[in-house]
Amino acid sequence: MSLPFKDLEPRYSGLMIVQEPAQKTTNVVGVIEKFEWAGGRGGALKVDFYVSQQNATNIKAIQQQGLKTTAVKKLAWWICDYDKESKRWFEQSYPSSDLSISGILSPKENPELDVDLTPVPVQDGIDVNVYKIAMSVAPAADKPYQLYFANSSEKKVVNDWGLKVGGPSP
């Protein structure tokens, strides 16, 4: 995937960027449409994203066989945005204490994992489709993380996510 900026050198080291003569590119599994978190240490991360047909059908097949576990072993994201005031690209969110997080699909009783196999055109007139997945991930027990967020190129914050069992959280 081509990255739309030249002036940003990402701090998130989980992103593998390939420098081409005229552009930067990276490999992605999906493109995030919506990322939500209420901010509580035990609160779920809710993510809506689009993937290829192959990834969507693989996940749907696993879901239809019945999930053997609700564990999410590895989840990573990198969200960028453009600051219109400073006229600069900036990193908006990523896991900052580790390259990825682990957790569980939530709620535990009825895990939120929705795979929509209705094709969504990437652009009108182009025969390329993507497929929407929505999921909610709560923190796993005894594994706290730090998550990076920014509202602009100047307003940055790192928040704790997850609880340390049996002792104070970092």
48-57, 74-83, 107-116, range with the lowest pLDDT: 107-116
**DSSP-based three-state secondary structure for 126:** coil
Specify the pTM.
0.84
- Cα–chain-centroid distance for residue 69? 20
- Rounded Cα gap, residues 108 and 39, in angstroms: 19
Cβ partners under 8 Å of residue 125, min gap 6: none
Which pLDDT band holds residue 2 (cuts at 50, 70, 90)?
Answer: low
Instruction: Give per-residue pLDDT as tens, 13-41.
Output: 777 767 666 677 777 889 999 999 999 99
